[in-house]
Amino acid sequence: MKKMWESTVSKFAKKTLFYILITGIGIIIITPLYFLVSLSFLSSREAYQYPLPLVPAISSEFKLEKGDKGYLLSIYEKGDREYQTMIDTKNIEKMSRYMKLQLSVDVSVEKLENYISKLDQQNEVYFKSYKGLLHNYKTFFAITRDAIPALIRSLQVAGLTILISLSIGGMAGYAFARYIFIGKNALKVSVLFVRVFPAVAIAMPMVIILATIGFYDKPIGLSLVYSVGTIALTIWITASIFLGIPVELEEVAQIFGATKLRTFINITIPLALPGLAACAMFAFIGAWNETVSAIILTQFNPTFAVVVYQSVLGAVDQVNLAAAGGILMAIPMVLFTLFIRKYINQMWGGVKI
């Protein structure tokens, strides 16, 4: 009886320990990302406080009173539980602009004048204002030259890369799965080998090659370079997918009078969809993320990754803006991954996400 009780306790203790371990690992994985998200919502003033606030404030409380130079604005500091002087000025426009830039709070000049007019009757005016949480994101687009065109270009590059690598790689993958041909093994090895040569080494001579065909500094040029790696990947994945589709299915369709092309479009492609989706995802991620070749192969038309890279590189004074850029970079990837997730799940043979 006692032994049974002991074993239950030790089982329970083991289980608890296990979950503590799991939770700990989970927290370690999530924490850095949490701070990036949190930072991207901080106002410039908050971002330069130390220690940094753990949670971005949603609203701020202000106090307005008469000061030496004009009107004195103070902000309530939750940590110290007191008001801290921010700015003392007669110029109300300046005050409004300061609040917007430093505190991410949008208070119009009229509203401030309204508060100030109350100062005739009372010594201090208190008011509360909500913070513009997307302020850093708006600023990122406002001060980063070219961010929106770069975003569109990046999507073009990714789309073209998917198109090129799926069509070319998919065809070869089908040949790998269904036919024996001379040079099959050589091609198989070369498919692995193209990934060994660093992307930079390809990109540098590509400047001249693309310039001669008129594709330098254009989305199509970049996607041609990115497709080298993704075609290789597409061949590997689609070959195994097509192998899994019984050849009999195709033969039956042909017996019933379908042409080869029709069989391929109506039978093979739908069955291969999960693998093709996975290939599309890898192509998208690869093209969206890539920075090195994009730095080398663009001049006046950078991709979004390059724009964010430059803003992060020079982000000594604007960590909250760099964080917003990093998040903006991650959003399309997360969306695309979610969008395509169910197909991937099928392909991984039941690795559930």
Partner 1 sequence: MTEIIIPPSNLLKGVDTINLSNLKKNKNWTPYLLIAPTVIYYIFFWLNPVITSIYSSFKGVDGSFTLQNYINVFTTTSFGEAFGNTAFIAGISIVIEFFIALALALLINKKFKGSAIFLFIAMVPMAIPAVGAAAIWKTGLTTYGWMNSLLYYLGFLEKGEKLLFLSGSKFSILWLIIIIDTWQVIPSMMIILLAGLQNLSKEAKEAGYIFGGNGLTVLRQITIPMLKPTIITAVILRLISAIQIWLIVVILFGFDRIPLLLERVIYYKEELSRLDNSYQIASTYAVITSIIVTIAAVVYLKVSGAFDISKKEVV
Q: Which of 229, 253, 287, 298 binds partner 1 (CB under 8 A)?
A: 229
Asked if the peptide bond before residue 51 counts as cis, ω within 30 degrees of 0, the response is yes
The three-class DSSP label of residue 105 is: strand
Among the residue ranges 70-78, 115-123, 224-232, 266-274, the one whose residues contact partner 1 (CB under 8 A) = 224-232
Write the CA distances from 97 to 67, 87, 109, 192, integer angstroms: 19, 11, 9, 56
In angstroms, what is the minimal distance from the CB of 256 to partner 1? 19
Q: Does 313 help bind partner 1 (rule: CB under 8 A)?
A: yes
Q: Is 347 one of the binding residues for partner 1 (CB under 8 A)?
A: yes
CB of 215 to partner 1, least distance (A): 11
Residue 240 to residue 272: CA distance in whole angstroms: 10
Q: CA angle at residue 156 from 153 to 158, to 5 degrees?
A: 110
Binding status of residue 312 toward partner 1 by CB under 8 A: yes
* Residue 31 binds partner 1 (CB under 8 A): yes
The CB-of-75 to partner 1 minimum distance in angstroms stands at 19
Instruction: Count the site residues for partner 1 by CB under 8 A.
Output: 103
Secondary structure (3-state) at 97: helix
Among 178, 217, 254, 345, binds partner 1 (CB under 8 A): 178
Residues in 36-65 at the binding interface with partner 1, rule: CB under 8 A: 36, 38-39, 48, 50-52, 54
- The DSSP string of 63-91 is EEEE-SSSEEEEEEETTTTEEEEEEEES-
Q: Single out the residue of 180, 255, 257, 300 in contact with partner 1 (rule: CB under 8 A).
A: 180
Q: Which of 103, 177, 276, 287 binds partner 1 (CB under 8 A)?
A: 177
Tokens representing residue 244 in the block: 């899994």
Nearest to 219 by CA among 287, 276, 279, 278: 287
Cβ proximity to partner 1, 19 vs 130, nearer residue:
19
334 binds partner 1 (CB under 8 A): yes
Token match 């075609």: residue?
A: 231
Q: Calculate helix-pair angle for 219-244, 199-212, nearest 10 degrees.
A: 120
122 or 350, CB closer to partner 1? 350
Among 163, 209, 220, 267, the residue binding partner 1 under the rule CB under 8 A is 209
Query: 73 or 323: whose CB is closer to partner 1?
Result: 323
Binding range to partner 1, per CB under 8 A, among 4-12, 72-80, 138-146, 169-177: 169-177
Rg, Å, the chain Cα set: 29
Cβ of residue 329: shortest distance to partner 1, in angstroms? 5
With binding defined as CB under 8 A, does residue 211 bind partner 1? no
Binding residue for partner 1, selected from 253, 286, 287, 297, defined by CB under 8 A: 286
The answer to whether the CB of 239 falls within 8 A of the CB of 176 is yes
- Which residues ranging from 242 to 271 are in contact with partner 1 (CB under 8 A)? 243, 246-247
Q: How far apart are CA 176 and CA 266, in angstroms?
A: 20
Ramachandran sector of residue 34 (left: φ over 0; alpha: ψ -120 to 50; beta: rest)? alpha
Residue of 268, 220, 222 lying closest to 246 (CA atoms): 268
Nearer to partner 1, 71 or 288 (CB): 288
Please identify, among the stretches 3-11, 77-85, 122-130, 238-246, the one whose residues bind partner 1 according to the rule CB under 8 A. Answer: 238-246
Minimal distance, residue 17 CB to partner 1, in Å: 13
Inter-helix orientation angle 147-178/269-289, to 10° = 140
Say how far apart CA 261 and CA 268 lie, in whole Å. Answer: 10
Shortest Cβ 144–partner 1 spacing (Å) = 13
CB closer to partner 1, 179 vs 256? 179
